[in-house]
Homo-oligomer: A and B are copies of this chain.
Amino acid sequence: MNQKGHEKKIEKPDDESESYGRSWRLTVEANNARPWRIVPDNCYNHLQNYMSGGQYQLDLNLVVQHILSYAHEIPLAADGMDAWILDVDDTCISNIDYYKGRRFGCDPFDSAIFKAWIMKGKCPANPAVLELFNALIKKGFKVFLLTGRDQATLAQITTNNLRNQGFIGYQRLILRSAQYKGQSAVRYKSAIRKEIEGEGYRIRGNVGDQWSDLQGECLGNRTFKLPNPMYFIS
């Protein structure tokens, strides 16, 4: 009970942390805070509500609606060379269950725990992105899945995970091979997209949860940023 007895105390600190969480999320999604390493501790409650309370999925749904509107208007050529790039982690499949255990990014990234999580091969599909994936393939796009995951150690588990989540019929899954180790995501992914274009493909769309998926060279005709307030990859 506060000093005024019967009056309900206004939870000012909570309000402030909710407002700050909103501001913080907006500024990272518009890429104003780059590079950032960890979610500020006072964003935890906001992020927990955001990621687990439904708004994150609604936000994904709306971006996917915009992507589908755009994709359906593209006239595909008869040569079968209209391509699309999708990122994997927190685009096709979700690591929210790992990040729940890291307070949605307020605790530092732990590579051993993360690898153990990945090796289970149980990352669930992002339902909205699975719907997008299937629609793209149905329309006739050649879908390339491009991930920074290590090829030597994670190729098989990633292939299996994508299959058990329904990602079937893509053109190619590209993981980070030894020659790209230590490079930034922008550089590595640019090089791969350049190779894909070098094979004659026309990249019509490019979707990822990181700005580094959507910057650099050979970006494609249009890029789409999916929400991800939990971590930043440069």
A66, CB-defined interface residue at 8 Å? yes
A66 touches B27 (CB 8 A): yes
Contact check: which of B19, B32, B54, B67 meets A225 at CB < 8 Å?
B32
Residue of B nearest to A227 (CB): B26
Contact check: which of B24, B55, B58 meets A62 at CB < 8 Å?
B24
A113, CB-defined interface residue at 8 Å? no
Contact check: which of B19, B23, B59, B224 meets A26 at CB < 8 Å?
B59
Please, how many residues of chain A have a CB less than 8 angstroms from a CB on the other chain?
25
A61, CB-defined interface residue at 8 Å? yes
Known contacts A32-B225, A33-B66, A224-B32: does B58 contact A27 (CB below 8 Å)?
Answer: no
Copies of the protein in its oligomer: 2
Which A residues between 65 and 84 are near B, CB-CB below 8 angstroms? 66-67
Q: For A61, list chain B residues within 8 Å (CB).
A: 23
A20, CB-defined interface residue at 8 Å? yes
C-alpha gap A27/B31 in the complex (Å): 13
Residues of chain A at the chain B interface (Cβ within 8 Å): 19-20, 22-27, 29-33, 54-55, 58-59, 61-63, 66-67, 224-225, 227
Known: A26-B62, A31-B225, A33-B66. 12 other contacts (CB 8 A): A19-B58, A22-B58, A23-B61, A23-B62, A24-B62, A25-B26, A26-B26, A27-B59, A27-B66, A30-B30, A30-B63, A32-B66
